[in-house]
């Protein structure tokens, strides 16, 4: 009897001790089972999300395939947008602040340009492009700056590579006139030639037709638009830059036309030439002399790897006794700008450039050297530092160190 | 070229359509390629098993550029700009430019294995196409791995 009691006691003690162990094993088993099920479900869910389904052949004969095609096209046509007006309207902009340390004038800091683009797509092939600019930070009576409408045109795609635009647009001349976001060029200040000979930023009102040949890289532009109205006396007489009317109640007695041929058919290369004819750049009735003028421009912009080269030449031929007497019947200028840009592993870029410019125009005979550096932490933001040496024939030589910050989005 | 025509011309037979859902983890990695999370978070693709077509959109200057990419064995095989909405920078549509991407893969530093030459006056559009090329290669990696 005693031995039976002992055996029973042992069994009971054994069961009591073993029970939690059995329970733990059960829980572990349950957990393993659940883990396995969750993994299976995750796999099935993932497979379902990334499933592949058969698509009909794109024969064009199967109506359901055609409907599917239409769906696909509609989906991507509206990529990133919808039917609401705000989805068809986009904004962008750029800005640049400059600091100039001058050896013969006061040092200066200036938020030179703050620009806002507002574009709107009315339909797939009719759109509005507009650009509003605040120059020198402050505008108004007696202030240094201006609020300017630099672009506002309606562009229509006509098919077969033809595009027409009407309104206020940038004239298709030079490298910087149409593309001048600060992160896209070297130097804090824009170059001398595309300031004095080609009065960048230069916009006029009118109509323009563009034909592009995408397969070969050719582009042809023809624009008919308002023209310059240059002063005829004083220090700025016959200076193209002083003749910009900015489409502000502008004299439209005389018109101008611009033709451009552009070739970009080789990687990294752009070669272009523009010719502009104006029947009279002094259209004011008060000045009776007729001064028809022809501007001829050509440039090359080449980039291969880190190496870059920009070179541009432009010349004005102005008819009439007054410009001839002032020695301004021929105004010309050119520059050449080699550069090298290093790209680092983190995407930062550091570029070095030098530029030699020479011109003869309303501001005299000028030779300018620039050299400096651009640093891009990202493609949309640039920090600039450069040195300029300007020599005016028969006049002063001046030096400056320039710093700049620029962005676009 | 219409997106449907791009898909049709990229495959001999009929492709299988699918969609890859971008997880939070994927979006973190995508930021390395395009600087932001990609939208829509469900990206459609077409594949015949060895080659996959992706249609992606990225902002050039102010408008999205919709571009088709065909990826095979981890390398770009074909790039075609499908819908170009910008008024400048159309040069990225040219075959001489898009051909540069052929054979490009993605290296471990999130860079393309081939140098893509820029186009004067079209820098922003070139950047957009390059970002999308990296994204297409990344998405294909994720699709194959999933």
Query: Alpha-carbon distance A333 to A361, whole Å?
Result: 8
What value does the mean pLDDT take over residues B7-22? 91
Chain A hits for B23, Cβ within 8 Å: none
Chain A hits for B2, Cβ within 8 Å: 69, 73
Q: Cβ separation of A184 and B14 shorter than 8 Å?
A: no
- B39 in A contact zone (CB under 8 Å): yes
Question: How many other β-carbons are positioned within 10 Å of the β-carbon of residue A233?
Answer: 10
Write out residues 292-331 of A within 8 Å (CB-CB) of B: 301-305
Residue A14's pLDDT is 54
Q: Which residues of B13-46 are buried (b: 16+ CB within 10 A; e: fewer)?
A: ebbbbbbbbbeeebeeebeebbeeebeeeebbbb
More confident residue, B93 or A373: A373
More confident residue, B95 or B80: B80
Contact B37, A78 (CB under 8 A): no
Residue A373's pLDDT is 98
Question: pLDDT tens for residues B31-73?
Answer: 888 888 898 888 999 999 899 999 999 988 777 899 999 999 9
Question: pLDDT tens for residues B101-141?
Answer: 999 999 877 789 988 888 777 888 998 999 999 999 999 99
Residue A23's pLDDT is 56
Of B87, B93, B94, nearest to A155 by CB-CB distance is B87
Distance from the A378 Cα atom to the nearest Cα atom in chain B, whole angstroms: 10
* Chain A residue whose CA is closest to B35: A378
Query: Alpha-carbon distance A363 to A340, whole Å?
Result: 31
Residues A362, A367, A371, CA angle at the centre, nearest 5°? 130
- A130 in B contact zone (CB under 8 Å): no
* Chain B residue whose CA is closest to A210: B87
User: What are the C-alpha distances in Å from A188 to residues A139, A179, A192, A403, B62?
Assistant: 22, 15, 12, 6, 24
Contact B146, B24 (CB under 8 A): no
Q: Which DSSP letter does residue A239 get?
A: -
Q: Cβ separation of B94 and A73 shorter than 8 Å?
A: no
Query: Per-block average pLDDT, block size 10, for chain A (409 residues)?
Result: 51 51 68 82 62 46 60 71 66 94 92 93 88 91 90 93 95 95 95 97 96 89 96 93 92 93 89 97 91 97 92 97 94 98 89 98 96 94 97 92 95
Residue A77's pLDDT is 74
Of A392, A361, A356, nearest to A195 by C-alpha is: A361
User: What are the C-alpha distances in Å from A14 to residues A1, A4, A18, A28, A380?
Assistant: 20, 15, 6, 21, 76
Query: Alpha-carbon distance A216 to A218, whole Å?
Result: 6
Distance from the A263 Cα atom to the nearest Cα atom in chain B, whole angstroms: 10
pTM for the whole structure: 0.75
- A27 in B contact zone (CB under 8 Å): no
Distance from the B19 Cα atom to the nearest Cα atom in chain A, whole angstroms: 5
Q: Cβ separation of A302 and B120 shorter than 8 Å?
A: yes
Q: List, edge to edge, every strand of the sheet that includes A52-54.
A: A52-54, B16-21, B42-47, B51-59, B64-72, B75-83
Residue A347's pLDDT is 79
Residue A364's pLDDT is 93
Residue A326's pLDDT is 94
Of A170, A286, A293, nearest to A238 by C-alpha is: A293
Chain A hits for B120, Cβ within 8 Å: 175, 264, 268-270, 301-303
Residue A33's pLDDT is 82
Residue with the two structure tokens 């020479």: A358
Q: Cβ separation of A304 and B117 shorter than 8 Å?
A: yes
């Amino acid at each position: 009897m005693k031995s039976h009691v002992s055996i029973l006691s042992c069994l009971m003690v054994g069961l009591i001790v073993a029970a939690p162990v059995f329970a733990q094993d059960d829980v572990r088993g349950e957990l393993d089972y659940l883990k396995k099920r969750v993994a299976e479900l995750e796999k099935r869910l993932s497979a379902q999300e990334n499933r592949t389904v058969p698509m009909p052949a794109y024969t064009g004969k199967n109506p359901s395939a055609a409907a599917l095609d239409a769906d696909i096209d509609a989906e991507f046509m509206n990529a990133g947008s919808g039917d609401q007006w705000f989805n068809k309207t986009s904004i962008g902009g750029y800005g640049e602040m400059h600091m100039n340390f001058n050896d013969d004038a006061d040092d200066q800091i200036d938020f030179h340009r703050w620009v806002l683009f507002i574009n709107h797509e009315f339909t797939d092939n009719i759109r509005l492009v507009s650009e509003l600019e605040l120059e020198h930070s402050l505008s108004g009576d007696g202030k240094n700056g201006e609020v300017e409408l630099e672009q506002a045109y309606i562009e229509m795609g006509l098919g077969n590579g033809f595009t027409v635009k009407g309104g206020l647009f940038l004239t298709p001349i030079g490298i910087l006139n149409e593309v001048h976001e600060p992160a896209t060029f070297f130097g804090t200040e824009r170059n001398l030639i595309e300031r004095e000979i080609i009065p960048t930023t230069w916009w006029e009102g009118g109509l323009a037709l563009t034909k592009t040949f995408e397969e070969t890289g050719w582009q042809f532009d023809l624009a008919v638009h308002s023209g310059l109205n240059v002063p005829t006396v004083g220090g700025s007489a016959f200076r193209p830059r002083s003749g910009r009317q900015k489409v502000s109640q502008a004299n439209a007695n005389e018109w101008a036309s611009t033709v451009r041929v552009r070739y970009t058919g080789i990687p990294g290369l752009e070669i272009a030439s523009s010719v502009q004819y104006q029947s009279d750049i002094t259209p004011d009735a008060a000045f009776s002399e007729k001064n028809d003028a022809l501007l001829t421009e050509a440039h090359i912009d080449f980039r291969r790897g880190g190496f870059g080269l920009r070179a541009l030449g432009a010349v004005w031929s102005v008819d009439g006794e007054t410009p001839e007497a002032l020695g301004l019947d021929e105004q010309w200028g050119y520059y050449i700008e080699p550069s090298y840009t290093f790209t680092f592993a983190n995407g930062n870029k550091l570029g070095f450039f030098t530029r030699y410019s020479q011109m003869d125009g309303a501001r005299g005979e000028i030779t300018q050297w620039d050299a400096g550096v651009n640093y891009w932490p990202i493609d949309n933001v640039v920090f600039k530092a450069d040195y300029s040496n300007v020599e005016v024939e028969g006049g002063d030589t001046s030096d400056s160190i320039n710093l700049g910050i620029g962005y676009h989005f | 070229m219409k997106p449907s025509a791009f898909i049709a011309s990229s495959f001999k037979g009929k492709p299988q359509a699918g969609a890859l859902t971008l997880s939070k983890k994927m979006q973190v990695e995508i930021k390395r390629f395009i600087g932001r999370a990609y939208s829509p978070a469900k990206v459609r693709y077409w594949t015949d098993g060895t080659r996959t077509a992706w249609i992606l959109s990225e902002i050039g200057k102010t408008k999205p550029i919709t571009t088709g990419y065909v990826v095979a064995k981890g390398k770009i095989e074909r790039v075609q700009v499908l819908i170009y909405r910008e008024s400048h920078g159309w040069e990225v549509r040219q075959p001489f430019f898009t051909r540069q991407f052929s054979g490009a893969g993605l290296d471990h530093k999130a860079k393309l294995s081939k140098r893509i030459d820029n186009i004067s006056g079209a820098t922003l559009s070139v950047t957009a196409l390059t970002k999308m090329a990296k994204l297409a290669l990344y998405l294909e990696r994720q699709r194959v791995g999933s």
